[in-house]
Amino acid sequence: MAPIAESELILNADGSVYHLRLQPEELAPVIIVVGDPGRVPEISKYFDQIEMKRQNREIVTHTGRIGNHRLTVLSTGMGTDNLDIVMNELDALVNIDLVRREPLTEQKSLKIIRLGTSGALQADIPVDSFVMSTYGIGMDGLLYFYADNEKVTDKRLGDAFVLHTSWNKNLPGIYAVKASESFMQQIGDDFIKGMTLTAPGFYGPQGRVLRMPLAYPQLNELIETFRYQGTRIANFEMETSALYGLGRMLGHETLTVCAIVANRVSRTYSKDAHFAVDKLVQIVLRKLTE
């Protein structure tokens, strides 16, 4: 097999991967990803020891330990386009020989959990509650750029969503990917569970109106009433479908748990979103290190 070209796998002068600026030894086997760079130190402050801090653009990385458990917390920025960068480069760190530019014979599997904020799409999911994403449904079309995506997607779920919403052919293709079953079991049952819809934007794609009218103003109402095998769509956010899709294609375990900071149906917003996120962080860190 020919080495991966320099234009395809870009490395910095010190041999670190291009965007993350990390070396393989600086990455822990369990990774917490967040959108906001400012949330990284709010998580690593609970570490017993911080081994490494790094920042490049919006990507901030801290690696450290809680007891005998080694963890990395890393900010991705917002959107599935950023997740495409982060997931590919995290995988390169553990599954590609960066010197020889060749995939390693023995592939490693990371555990990657996203701690995010999101808006509830059901009236009975209150702000400051926590949702575990059983599926990520992508409205962004990212996974269709990769071959064999059908091996990891739930086509029946995707087709059912398209039919229910009368999904317009001019919009990106829908795909749906399930969370890691074992990871869901590890983190536990202390959360509301439901499917998560990943949008390619914050305003129009999530049905928000400021000065521009929506092309599909009834879409959110259709989303709220969608059911698949007794499960409903619980929340809207911007990263989970890429995390689940790319993670499963690359052989990693992935999971998203979000603090609900807004309810889109009741049009309410958290009075103290920082407190809710901090509570979620402490719960998940305990689950990861028990």
pLDDT in tens, 250-262: 999 999 999 999 9
**What is the rounded distance in angstroms from the CA atom of residue 55 to the CA atom of residue 94?**
20
**What is the rounded distance in angstroms from the CA atom of residue 201 to the CA atom of residue 69?**
35
* Residue 71: its H or E element: strand 69-75
pLDDT, mean of residues 64-69: 98
Establish if 15 belongs to a structural domain.
Answer: no
CA angle 81, 63, 196 (to 5 degrees): 40
CATH number of residue 242's parent domain: 3.40.50.1580
Backbone angles phi, psi at 247, to 5 degrees: -60, -45
Q: How far apart are the first and last CA of the chain?
A: 42
pLDDT confidence of residue 189: 82
Residue 233 in contact with residue 192, Cβ under 8 Å? no
Residue 212: band (very low, low, confident or very high) from pLDDT cuts 50, 70, 90: very high
Question: What burial class does residue 217 get, using C-beta atoms within 10 Å of its C-beta: 0-12 exposed, 13-18 middle, 19+ buried?
Answer: exposed
Tokens of 243: 């995390």
Establish if 18 belongs to a structural domain.
Answer: no
Establish if 4 belongs to a structural domain.
Answer: no
pLDDT confidence of residue 94: 98
Establish if 263 belongs to a structural domain.
Answer: yes
Residue 143: band (very low, low, confident or very high) from pLDDT cuts 50, 70, 90: very high
Establish if 266 belongs to a structural domain.
Answer: yes
Question: What pTM, to 2 d.p., does this model score?
Answer: 0.96
Establish if 7 belongs to a structural domain.
Answer: no
Q: 30-34 and 227-228 as β-strands: parallel, antiparallel, unpaired?
A: unpaired
Residue 264 in contact with residue 120, Cβ under 8 Å? yes
Q: 69-75 and 175-178 as β-strands: parallel, antiparallel, unpaired?
A: unpaired
pLDDT in tens, 223-259: 999 999 999 999 999 999 999 999 999 999 999 999 9
Residue 44: band (very low, low, confident or very high) from pLDDT cuts 50, 70, 90: very high
The total of structural domains in the chain comes to 1
Type of residue at 177 = V
pLDDT in tens, 180-200: 999 999 998 889 999 999 999
Whole-Å CA distances, 221 to 106, 164, 165, 168, 227: 47, 11, 9, 15, 12
Q: Quick check: 106 pLDDT over 90?
A: yes
Residue 191: give the domain boundaries. 24-289
pLDDT confidence of residue 188: 87
Q: 79: Cβ–Cβ under 8 A, 6 or more apart, which residues?
A: 200, 201, 238, 239
Establish if 104 belongs to a structural domain.
Answer: yes
